[in-house]
Amino acid sequence: MERLNIDIRQSWMHQPVKYELFPLSPVSRHRLGMVQRKTLVLDLDETLIHSHHDAMPRNTVKPGTPHDFTVKVTIDRHPVRFFVHKRPHVDYFLDIVSQWYDLVVFTASMEIYGAAVADKLDNGRNILKRRYYRQHCTPDFGSYTKDLSAICGDLNRAVQPHIVDVETSKLGPRPVTSVSSLVVHYN
């Protein structure tokens, strides 16, 4: 009996969740049309997805969890396969917040990888149009800091961007009053 319960739990864990999406009411749609859309800046790795490549499995995903998609890229003339795990409910999240915000992906990853992953996440919905990659970052002692001025030159005059990232230390200097950050922590 115990084995049956374990099998049922394991098969249930990988079942897709179905959501019933309700369209915005006419009043809500009208109100949203009256205000200037804000920008939501989303980090890619460890925020929207987890990934690892052939040579380097990582402990960010429970072993045995099937990946959602594979991205094949060539880096320094070497083919590399990345196994990508979407965060739970990320597609639903993107569908909903894209109604309220202009979505921007800003990752410190290489463009060849980041663009391929963002294309898969967008999945033809055309909601992740603005994208910034490693070349838009500032090198910082062996790491990369996201330069938010790449998104809009004057953050004080721009529509206030909201940022979802797992690590605010990589966001670089910015006027505190212009940017709100949500740091996402997962157990």
Q: What strand order describes the sheet that includes 38-42?
A: 130-132, 101-106, 38-42, 161-165, 180-183
- Which of 151, 138, 131 minimizes the C-alpha distance to 43? 131
Checking 52-59 for CB contacts under 8 A at 24+ apart, the result is 52/82, 52/83, 53/80, 53/81, 53/82, 53/83, 54/80, 54/81
Task: Decide if 138 contacts 145 (C-beta within 8 A).
Answer: yes
Alpha carbon 152 to its chain's center: 19
One of 43, 76, 91, 122 is an active-site residue; which one?
Answer: 43
User: Is 43 annotated in the active site?
Assistant: yes
45 is catalytic: yes
| Tokens standing for residue 13 | 């864990």
Residue recorded with tokens 């603005």: 130
Q: Phi/psi at 144 (nearest 5 deg)?
A: -130, 135
Q: Identify the active-site residue in 45, 119, 122, 165.
A: 45
List the catalytic residues: 43, 45
